[in-house]
Amino acid sequence: MTDRLLVLVRHGQSDWNLKNLFTGWKDPDLTEKGVTEAREAGRKLKAQGLTFDVAFTSALTRAQHTLRLALEEMGQTGIPVTKHLALNERDYGDLSGLNKDDARAKWGEEQVHIWRRSYDVPPPGGESLKDTLARTLPYYVQEILPGVLRGERTLVAAHGNSLRALIMVLEKLSPEGILARELGTGAPIIYRLKADATVESKLDLA
């Protein structure tokens, strides 16, 4: 019996999450709380009796650090890790580095809400969720999914919006459904897939 295991985990709290800043492709590291969340994610996975063959993460420090800490907790630091910008957070463009309250003061509450919560309206110079899906999903289909289907137990540490792209496909969610989906920092989601790449079971360790 092939164990088609895919675990997704959003990075722990970053310094800019704490400061309420739009982060996107900017590269702050984890806060102390984020470090704790990442280690806790590893402990939760270890408590489930899980081991991994391969891992994937983004080109950004906060996701890489989360992955490293989780694997340390599991005693699995030797597995192959692939880093790729296809798994990066959504690029917030001109909003990157701004406090969310300052952005609302500059562009208005309604406009900022549209940028944050619409499916296909990008902020100035940035990406919509639809744009993020357009780079994340092909990478998943070509680079991650084939290994999972071969039985390579796979851990992906990435970001709220790049993981939403994967969840949208895995859970067959509509654009509206995925926008409403919140992902906790450092909270693993365990999927086991059928041979046709659809979900057989899901366990949320939030």
Cite the active site residues.
Answer: 11, 89
Task: Report the Cα 155 to chain-centroid distance in Å.
Answer: 11
Task: Report the alpha-carbon distance of residue 114 to residue 149 in Å, rounded.
Answer: 37
Amino acid identity of residue 121, one-letter, is V
Provide the edge-to-edge strand list for the sheet that holds 154-158: 81-83, 54-57, 154-158, 5-10, 189-193, 199-204
Give the DSSP H/E element, type plus range, for residue 47.
Answer: helix 32-47
Torsion sign, CA atoms 98, 101, 106, 107: positive
**Is residue 202 classed as helix, strand or coil in its secondary structure?**
strand
Torsion sign, CA atoms 142, 143, 145, 147: positive
Torsion sign, CA atoms 38, 40, 41, 47: positive
Give the DSSP H/E element, type plus range, for residue 165.
Answer: helix 160-170
